[in-house]
Structure 1
């Protein structure tokens, strides 16, 4: 059952910290304010489109050409990918067309809880139960939750419970668009020694040899069996990314090669973001036993650039 703006503000608003709005028809969002940061979270997709620590520029990139409309994926922020990553690996198992990256990012989630803790952080919990769409795609017996903790750091977690009698196989991901000054000047630290599938080179398996990864062309790499924390070295700051429950790291930038084929990106969008994603996919796909629960989380924080 959908939640109206009036009902949401009556039951879940927190004075000076959480309010609900519908600036775009059919797109309900939370505006979140703490002493340490501001954020924007859409109920569709449990999609965080903004997180800006006090005194900083936005940490997340949102495309100026992104659709903000019911049923349309949002380009930027942190899309939640579930129950598959990219094209569905077992699409032949169902008769209907399976949407790219799963159904969770274009489904309206249910708000379960808002809370202001003694430290001043805002906590948000959303849930995604089975519905007609998920059932048509073969997912009928599951429970999914998203938890956000928003303050000086950003923490988000997804939990999936298998309520069926058979093992549940799925993929998941946080497809995070990190805002950077100039992608050509960015260095990414933490992937040295990892094995990756190069989606821009016929899925050939390669090894990351260098300590620091530099973006010099279009990139789409799936680093498997890796749980290491990463650091984005931007012009004036460092973005630190830690994760738990994720064994796959994906990095992506469309460069000038793919951008023209993506109508919801501006011509120069590629210069202002990199995607660094906490994922479980391909080699690290999850098989969840009946009654079991799996969790994946990521934490993001900023520091000034070391001089």
Structure 2
């Protein structure tokens, strides 16, 4: 059944709409179009003018607010991967929270900036007993820049892991090259107790793949050959990258990903995970930032 969108209001040319139970922020400026949702503070679409969408969202994604939207750029925080305590959600809880829009405006440069935030409440404190505020600054221009600011409001230091779990739309992930991960420490998460090894060569994606690359701070680029483009990821304060694609068998375990959809995306995530955790002192802030841009091959 087709989903209808209902316009609610606009601010300075930025459209606020709803899709089922989810609020969307639609941006259209001289550089690009983009869609952000307050559900999880996630960017769902970024289309530079004259180009294809940089991001992928599942055709089976759920918009009723019951779970995170599958695709775009989910935020994994304050932990990445499985929780240490049973019964808690994988990849933390902020991707299931409804964030607030603190600011949305067009800049003098022609770019658009949206600032979203979420903070601790009674429910989060049951899952993770620390007071926090988390902000996401989204800047839409010729490139897409995401800046995640973690504020520890408690009186003691806390350890966090975090990732921007970006689903990139690609023409064909099989055999796709991912450059810039060389000399990092590779952990194959599909193999139980796999030993850490130094990544010596350019990564070639042959799904299924679930790999963590530690001690990796430099620029990463995805060679999306069939789309005749290179997706470049510049990052700040990120010590880790993750590459994930479920492949034809693992994908069957995801109700919100069609069985053939693994051929349409590749996740290349930036963050600080596993041993690359961040210790955040009391009353301190930490910033993680990425910039995504497209270059022709």
TM-score, scaled relative to structure 1: 0.91
**Structure 1 position 242, deviation (Å):** 0.8
> 1:71 & 1:107 partners in 2: Cα distance?
10
1:174 partnered with 2:164: yes
Give the superposed CA RMSD.
1.5
The residue that corresponds to 2:29 in the other structure is: 34
Q: What number of residue pairs does the alignment pair up? A: 289
Whether contact under 8 Å (1:249, 1:279) holds in the other structure is yes
In structure 1, runs of 5+ residues without a counterpart are none
Residue of structure 2 equivalent to 1:23: 19
Q: Comparing 154-163 with 194-203, which one deviates more in the overlay?
A: 194-203
Q: How far apart are residue 139 of structure 1 and its match?
A: 3.5
The structure 1 residue matched to 2:200, chosen from 209, 216, 221, is 209
Checking the alignment, whether the CA contact within 8 Å between 2:176 and 2:206 is kept in structure 1 is no
Q: 1:251 Cα shift?
A: 0.5
Detail structure 1 runs of 4+ shifted over 3 Å in the superposition: none
User: Match for residue 79 of structure 2?
Assistant: 84
8 Å contact kept, 2:175–2:206: no
- 2:262 maps to 270
d(CA) in 1 for partners of 2:19, 2:124: 28
Of 91, 97, 115, the residue aligned with 1:107 is 97
Deviation at 1:152, TM superposition (A): 0.7
Shift of 1:214: 1.2
Distance of 1:248 and 1:242 partners within structure 2:
13
Range with bigger deviation, 262-271 or 200-209:
200-209
TM-score, length-scaled by structure 2 = 0.94
Which residue of structure 1 lines up, in the alignment, with residue 239 of structure 2?
247
Q: Distance in 2 between matches of 1:258 and 1:14?
A: 44
Matches within 5 A, 1:1-307: 9=9, 13-15=11-13, 18-24=14-20, 26-88=21-83, 90-91=84-85, 97-204=87-194, 205-210=196-201, 212-235=202-225, 236-305=228-297
SS of residue in 2 equivalent to 1:164: coil
Any gaps of 5 or more consecutive residues in structure 2?
A: 1-5
Instruction: Give the distance between the partners of 1:49 and 1:27, measured in 2 at CA.
Output: 12
